[in-house]
């Protein structure tokens, strides 16, 4: 059959849905997550023949967390798709999670036909209106020619500066419309400028302050990981001889097996980190935002310290704490320049004080009792993986124990919902991380209540043969809530205990492996079995029900006023 040559005057055309897929491929997308529905069918039809791998979750929230964790594990942009109305509203928790933790994400939502918008059409929701405060940027496409440039802009905005989720709402008629094929143009965003290079004068002021400091502390947040600046951080800490403490989001930025690590600070941070911050004469914040879970009572936070704040987001600076030396720009460049400018210092006295705090107040728990301590399970997991596994969590006590007892060694190793604290993040995030790291060990250390929220994604793990391991810290409580009720509401455990299913049986029903562990003596073997498992699995550890997370700075107290420092010394 011979093909008619097209007349030279008419430019080639293709449907909007094809433009979307081609632009995604052009942006380097290899895998996407998402769910179907009427107004995204044209798009899915074109995905059918595309080289992009597609993972279907069992709920759009799960899909969004998967894309988010894929992004956190790789540093690349995660992509999620949902249909209009309920599909889009199901994304919101995932978008807000990504927004709070500055995760680069592009969400594509279908929308009803352009001429129906505003008419309360079937499955219509004002998606851009709903998601405006939980995205870095969002836009609805009303001209099919804008599809390609809008997608390019979305990837650019999502992944640069302080990253975040960008949502593109695409009415179904935009997907169907025939669009002339045009060569890719340059992204032009007059309202979007990022300062990457730190101001030289600010950098030398910071270097001077570091050289002068007797008792400095580096306070490191997730921004260092985002910026890919862990090596630069290490170089600075080594050259200037600075102790390093990390936020929950910053864990992995600095090897916790290094003696200069003070581990995590804040509400459930280590005593030695919090004491060091309260006693320091210079606090060097890098890619961190002085969150209230970190600072405790703001007025008494780091009372003796001069403050340097390095951040790519100018709005983060002086938002909560007055900063003497702000440096706006990329942590990677700035830390490298700072390292060149600082001088080696010994600070023997300061490190001796820190060592004494470490000796006096290590993280600890009762190892003697007969029940399974949650910390023991996590410590055992840490020991048997040599601290090298990718660890994902839900939200609650188990998340804090993970932050305390799994000692992280490298960036992007710890994946957890920090800013929003989203229960149910664990399993879908583990799936996203496993997609990003095929063949590597990914463990979701989850809480029973958190797991209950999204455990339907076990289906997804089974379907795509993703051997994620769920290490369930099952205390039969919303443990973190119960702890607050114990401490602040006179042990009145109002509504914080739920009847759980037999998680091992649930796992098996989904086609995964399920094992229940109730005996302390079995923990070590069970962990070994879990790590050796080649299929998705749930290991349900029935732990001591009323164990608490210590130490703790109760909300509103100063960072050094920690409870629970001495409770194990009686034994």
Partner 1 sequence: MKHIISALVLNKPGVLAHVAGMFAARAFNIDSLAVGRTDDPNLSRMTIVVIGDDRVVEQVRKQLAKIVTIVKVQDFAGQDVVARDLMLITVSCPAEKRPEIQALIEMFMAKVVDIGPKTVMVEVAGPESKIEAFIDSCRPYGIKSMVRTGTVAMARYVRGRATKETNE
Residues in the chain: 571
Is residue 399 within the footprint of Mg ion (CB under 5 A)? no
Interacting span for ligand TPP (CB under 6 A) from 97-105, 200-208, 270-278, 442-450 = 442-450
Closer Cβ to ligand TPP, 169 or 446, answer by number: 446
Min. distance of Cβ 404 from ligand TPP in angstroms? 12
Is residue 481 within the footprint of ligand TPP (CB under 6 A)? yes
Q: How many Å apart are CA 520 and CA 511, to the nearest integer? A: 27
The owner of tokens 């927004």 is 99
Is residue 191 within the footprint of partner 1 (CB under 8 A)? yes
Is residue 272 within the footprint of ligand TPP (CB under 6 A)? no
Interacting span for Mg ion (CB under 5 A) from 42-50, 182-190, 209-217, 449-457 = 449-457
Is residue 520 within the footprint of partner 1 (CB under 8 A)? no
Q: How many Å apart are CA 56 and CA 280, to the nearest integer? A: 49
Q: How many Å apart are CA 141 and CA 505, to the nearest integer? A: 46
Q: Which of 410, 411, 393 is nearest to 402 (CA)?
A: 393
Interacting span for partner 1 (CB under 8 A) from 111-119, 184-192, 201-209, 369-377 = 184-192
Is residue 475 within the footprint of Mg ion (CB under 5 A)? yes
Is residue 395 within the footprint of ligand TPP (CB under 6 A)? yes
Site track for Mg ion across 476-515, x = CB under 5 A = -x-x------------------------------------
Q: In the window 127-166, what residues touch partner 1 (CB under 8 A)?
A: 128-129, 132-133, 136-140, 157
**480: CB partners within 8 A, 6+ apart:** 395, 396, 397, 400, 549
Is residue 190 within the footprint of partner 1 (CB under 8 A)? yes
Min. distance of Cβ 564 from ligand TPP in angstroms? 16
Among 41, 86, 123, 192, interactor with partner 1 by CB under 8 A:
192
E runs forming strands in 101-202: 105-111, 137-140, 165-171, 178-180
Min. distance of Cβ 324 from partner 1 in angstroms? 15
Q: Pairing relation of β-strands 105-111 and 390-393? A: unpaired
Tokens (6 digits) for 542: 């029935």
Q: What is the DSSP string of 222-253?
A: HHHHHTT-HHHHHHHHHHHT--EEE-TTTTTS
Cα–Cα separations (whole angstroms), residue 243 to 74, 234, 285, 327, 560: 28, 10, 12, 20, 17
Q: How many Å apart are CA 111 and CA 171, to the nearest integer? A: 4
Q: In the window 444-473, what residues touch ligand TPP (CB under 6 A)?
A: 447-450, 473
CB 551 within 8 A of CB 271: yes
Q: Applying CB under 6 A, which residues contact ligand TPP? A: 394-398, 421-424, 447-450, 473, 475, 477-481
Q: Applying CB under 8 A, which residues contact partner 1? A: 128-129, 132-133, 136-140, 157, 189-193, 195, 313-315, 318-319, 328
């Amino acid at each position: 059959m011979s093909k008619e040559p097209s007349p030279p005057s008419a430019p080639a055309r293709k449907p909007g849905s094809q433009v979307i897929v081609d632009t995604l491929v052009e942006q380097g997308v290899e895998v996407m997550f998402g769910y179907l529905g009427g107004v995204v069918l044209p798009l899915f039809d074109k995905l059918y023949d595309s080289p992009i791998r597609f993972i279907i979750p069992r709920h759009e929230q799960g899909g969004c967390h998967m894309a988010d964790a894929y992004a956190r594990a790789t540093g690349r942009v995660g992509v999620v798709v949902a249909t209009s109305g309920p599909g889009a509203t199901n994304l919101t928790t995932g978008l807000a999670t990504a927004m709070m933790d500055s995760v680069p994400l592009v969400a594509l939502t279908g929308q009803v036909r352009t001429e129906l918008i505003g008419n309360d059409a079937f499955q219509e929701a004002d998606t851009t209106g709903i998601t405006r405060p939980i995205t870095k940027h969002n836009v609805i496409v009303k001209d099919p020619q804008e599809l390609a440039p809008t997608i390019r802009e979305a990837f650019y905005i999502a992944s640069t500066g302080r990253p975040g989720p960008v949502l593109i709402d695409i009415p179904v008629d935009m997907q169907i419309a025939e669009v002339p094929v045009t060569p890719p143009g340059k992204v032009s965003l007059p309202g979007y400028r990022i300062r990457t290079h730190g101001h030289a004068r600010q950098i030398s002021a910071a270097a001077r302050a570091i050289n002068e400091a007797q008792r400095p502390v580096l306070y490191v947040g997730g921004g260092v990981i985002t910026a890919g600046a862990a090596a630069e951080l290490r170089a600075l800490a080594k050259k200037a001889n600075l102790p390093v403490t990390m936020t929950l989001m910053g864990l992995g930025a600095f090897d916790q097996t290094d003696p200069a690590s003070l581990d995590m600070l804040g509400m459930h941070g280590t005593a030695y980190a919090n004491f060091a911050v309260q006693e320091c004469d210079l606090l060097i914040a890098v890619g961190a935002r002085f969150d209230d879970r970190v600072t405790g009572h703001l007025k008494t936070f780091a009372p003796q310290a001069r403050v340097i704040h390095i951040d790519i987001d100018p709005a983060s600076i002086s938002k909560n704490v007055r900063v003497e030396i702000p440096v706006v720009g990329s942590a990677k460049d700035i830390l490298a320049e700072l390292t060149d400018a600082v001088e080696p210092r010994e600070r023997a006295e300061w490190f001796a004080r820190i060592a004494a705090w470490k000796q006096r107040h290590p993280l600890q728990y009762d190892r003697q009792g007969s029940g399974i301590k949650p910390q023991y399970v996590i410590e055992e997991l840490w020991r048997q993986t040599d601290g090298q596994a990718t660890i994902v969590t839900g939200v609650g006590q188990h998340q804090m124990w993970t932050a305390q007892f799994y000692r992280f060694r490298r960036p992007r190793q710890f994946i957890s919902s920090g800013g929003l604290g989203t229960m149910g993040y664990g399993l879908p995030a583990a799936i996203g991380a496993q997609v990003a790291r095929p063949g590597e060990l990914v463990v979701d250390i989850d809480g029973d209540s958190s797991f209950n929220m999204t455990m339907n994604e076990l289906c997804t793990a089974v379907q795509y043969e993703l051997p994620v391991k769920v290490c369930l810290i099952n205390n039969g409580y919303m443990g973190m809530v119960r702890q607050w009720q114990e401490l602040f509401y006179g042990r009145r455990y109002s509504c914080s205990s739920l009847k759980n299913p037999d998680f091992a049986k649930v796992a098996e029903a989904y086609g995964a492996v399920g094992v229940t562990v109730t005996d302390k003596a079995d923990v070590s073997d069970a962990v070994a079995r879990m790590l050796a498992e080649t299929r998705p699995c749930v290991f349900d550890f029935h732990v001591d029900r009323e164990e608490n997370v210590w130490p703790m700075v109760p909300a509103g107290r100063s960072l050094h006023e920690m409870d629970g420092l001495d409770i194990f010394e009686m034994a």
